[in-house]
Amino acid sequence: MTTHTLDSPRKGGGAEGGFLSKERIIAAPGFNRWLVPPAALAIHLCIGMAYGFSVFWLPLSKALGIKEPIKCGPDVGFFAELFTTTCDWKVSTLGWMYTLFFVLLGSSAALWGGWLERVGPRRAGVVSAVCWCGGMLISALGVHLHQFWLMLLGSGVIGGIGLGLGYISPVSTLIKWFPDRRGMATGMAIMGFGGGAMIGSPLAAELMKRFATDTNIGVAPTFVVMALIYFVFMMAGALGYRVPASNWKPEGWTPPPAQANNAMITRGHVHVSKVWGIPQFWLVWMVLCMNVSAGIGVIGMASPMLQEVFGGSLIGLQVKYGQLDKAQLKDIAVVAAGFTALLSLFNIGGRFFWASLSDKLGRKLTYVVFFVLGGALYASVPASAMGGNKLMFVAAFCLILSMYGGGFATVPAYLADLFGTQMVGAIHGRLLTAWATAGILGPVVVNYMRDYQIGLGLPREQVYNQTMYILVGMLVVGLICNLLVQPVDPKYFMTEAELAEEKRLAHDRAVASQASGSGAGQASTSASPALALLAWAAVGIPLAWGVYRTALSVAKFFN
C-alpha cells in the first residue's frame, strides 16, 4: 500500500481502470443504493468483534496450565510476559490488546483518511480485510508459540490498522448515497460495529469448545477459522461497494433551501488538511470524547457494578455482596452477564434509532438530548442503587448505552452537515482520535475511582456514587461544547478551483461512462430488488443469530 501526504499529487490513487481503483466502482444509472449498506455491514460486523475479544481472556490466561493458570513469579514483569514461554499471561496483560485496538483505530483512521477519500472504499475495504484477518492469523501463531508480542503485533497493531480503515471506509460513500437520510445511512453501518461482538463472541465460544482438548485451549484454531470466515465476508463487502457519480442525487429529491432551521447544513466543502485549525472541529471532538468517555467507562464495569450494588438481591437473598459464598457469587455473575447482554442490545439499537432520529431533530439537538437526558440518568443512579430499585437502575443504563451508541452513529452526519461531504470520511477519521482518547480516559476514571473508594473503606454498594457524578460533569462539558457549535465560517471552504482539483485527485466522475474501463458500467446490473434482498439476508441472518444468542443471556437476567 502506497501512502502519501494529503497534498501530494495523483500518485497513490491507483492506476486508471485497475481492479481496486475508484473508477471501476462508479455506479451507472439505475444502481440500487440499498445494496451499499449491506456491503458496509459486512465489514463492520467483522471488525466489531474487537468489542468481543474479552471472550478469549480467561482461556488465554491458562493457555499453558489448561485447567488452572501457571502463575508467573514476582520477577516476571510486563515486558518479560511478552516473551515468556514458561508461565501464563495475566488477564490484565491481555487487556492491553483491547487498548491497542482503539488507539490504533483512531490513529490509523486519522492518518489514512485522506488516502481513503482518493482511492475509494473498495481499496480501503480490501486493505482492512487483509490487516484485520491477517492480524488474527499472526495472533494464532502467537498463541501457538506462546509469544504475547506476536498477538500485540498481529491483532493489536496490524488488526488495529484494519479496524480504523474498515470503520471509516463506508462513511463518505453512504452519506453521498443518502443525502436525504444521512443519519440513518451511517447509523445502519455503525450499528454493525456494535453488533459484531454479538455474533463473534458466541461463535468464538462455540469454536473454542469444539477445538479444546486436554492439552490445548482451542484459541489458536479458533483465530484461524474466524479469520477465514471474516475474510470472505469483508472481501464481499469491499467488492460490493459502489460510489455515486459526482452529480447524482436520489430521484425526486432536491436539497432543501437554506433556511434558519437548517443553517447548520453547509453547501460548501472543507479540505481535511484545514480541520485542525477550525474551532467547530475541536468542539465536535470534545462532544464525541465526553459522550464516549462516560459510556465506555460504564461498559467495562457494568457486570461488577450490578453485582456489587445489589449483591444477593439479584438471586432473591437479602445479603450484601461481601457476604455471598462462592456458589452464590457464581449465580449472580450469570445474572450480571445477562445485564451486560441487555446493554449490548441497547447499544446497537441506539445506533440506528438515534442516528435516524437526528435526520428529523438535527444533529445539534440530538446531542443536547444525549447530554441532558444522559446527565439526569447518571445522577439518578446513586438514588436507585441506595433504594434497591433494580428496575430504575437497569433502565437508566439501558438508555445511557443507547445514547452512547447513538453518539457514534450520529457524528459522521454532524461532520457532513458542518464540513461538507467531499472529504467527510477523512475528517471523520481525524475525529476518531477523540475515541482513542476516550478509550483511555473513561475506563481510567471509573476503575481508579472505584479502587480509591474501596481504599477509603466504603461499602461496595456505594463505591460508584462519586463516579456517577464525575460522569455527569463530563456530560456537562460535552453539552457546553455542543451548544457552542455554529456554522463553519465560509473562509474555510474550498474554492471552486480547489474543489475541482480535489475531485480530480479523488477520481470523481460526473457520470459513470466517464470512468475508464468497463467496470463502472457493470454496476447498472445491480438494480434488481431481489439482489438487494439477498445482500441484506447475507448480513441480516448472522446478525439475527447474534441477537438471538444475546437474548438468551438477557432472559437469564429477567429470570
Q: pLDDT per residue over 402-452, tens digit each? A: 999 999 999 999 999 999 999 999 999 999 999 888 878 887 787 778 778
What is the pLDDT averaged over residues 99-126? 91
Q: What percent of the chain has pLDDT over 90?
A: 55
What burial letters (b/e) apply to 137-166, b meaning 16+ CB within 10 Å? bbbbebbbebbbebbbbbbbbbbbbbbbbb
- Please name the residues in contact with 481: beta carbons below 8 A apart, sequence gap of 6 or more: 283, 284, 286, 287, 290
Residue pair 154/138 in contact (Cβ under 8 Å)? The answer is: yes
- Please name the residues in contact with 531: beta carbons below 8 A apart, sequence gap of 6 or more: 32, 35
Q: Which domains does the chain have, with CATH numbers?
A: 19-49+94-249+512-559 (1.20.1250.20), 260-494 (1.20.1250.20)
Q: pLDDT per residue over 378-404, tens digit each? A: 999 889 888 888 889 999 999 999 999
Q: Mean pLDDT across the chain, nearest whole number?
A: 87
What burial letters (b/e) apply to 531-548, b meaning 16+ CB within 10 Å? ebeebbebbeebbeebbe
How many CB atoms lie under 10 A from the CB of residue 83? Answer: 12
**How far apart are the C-alpha atoms of 410 and 190, rounded to whole Å?**
9
Residue pair 464/309 in contact (Cβ under 8 Å)? The answer is: yes
pLDDT at residue 247 in the model: 79
Structure confidence at residue 524 as a pLDDT band (50, 70, 90)? very low
pLDDT at residue 13 in the model: 44
Kind plus residue range of the DSSP H or E element containing 378: helix 363-386
DSSP conformational letter for 86:
S
Question: In 120-181, which ranges are continuous DSSP H helix?
Answer: 121-145, 148-151, 159-168, 171-177
How many CB atoms lie under 10 A from the CB of residue 135? Answer: 24
- What 3-state DSSP class applies to 423? coil
Q: pLDDT per residue over 223-267, tens digit each? A: 999 999 999 999 999 999 999 988 788 988 887 765 444 668 888
**How far apart are the C-alpha atoms of 553 and 548, rounded to whole Å?**
9
Q: pLDDT per residue over 497-522, tens digit each? A: 998 898 888 777 665 555 444 444 44
**How far apart are the C-alpha atoms of 211 and 286, rounded to whole Å?**
45
What is the pLDDT averaged over residues 356-384? 94
